[in-house]
Amino acid sequence: KKSFWSILETHSEHILTPILAAIGAGKVNRESVRLYVLTKSKAQGTFVKRIRIDEDGDFIDNWPEGYFNETYL
């Protein structure tokens, strides 16, 4: 079985949506996908938040305000 690691930085819903759809269709194991959001604030500096994905390809955790407003929030 082949496996690989990839780090993808994007602001595009068009890249993330097919990955979520593949998880929901059972083509991709949700445990093989890690999604992180970096947020910057004056008080805390830059911090990383993991956004978990369920077996249907939906987000378990809420996105920070301003991300993917049309589809997911």
State how far the Cα of 53 lies from the Cα of 57, in Å rounded to an integer.
6
| Residue 2, pLDDT score | 74
- 32, 19 contact by CB (below 8 A): no
Q: Tell me the pLDDT of the chain (73 aa) as tens digits.
A: 677 788 888 878 888 999 999 999 999 999 999 999 888 888 889 989 999 999 999 999 988 776 765 554 4
Phi, psi of 51 (to 5 degrees): -110, 110
What is the predicted pLDDT for the residue at 72?
A: 45
Largest pairwise CA distance in the chain:
45
Show Cβ contacts of residue 46 under 8 Å, excluding neighbours closer than 6 positions.
38, 39, 40
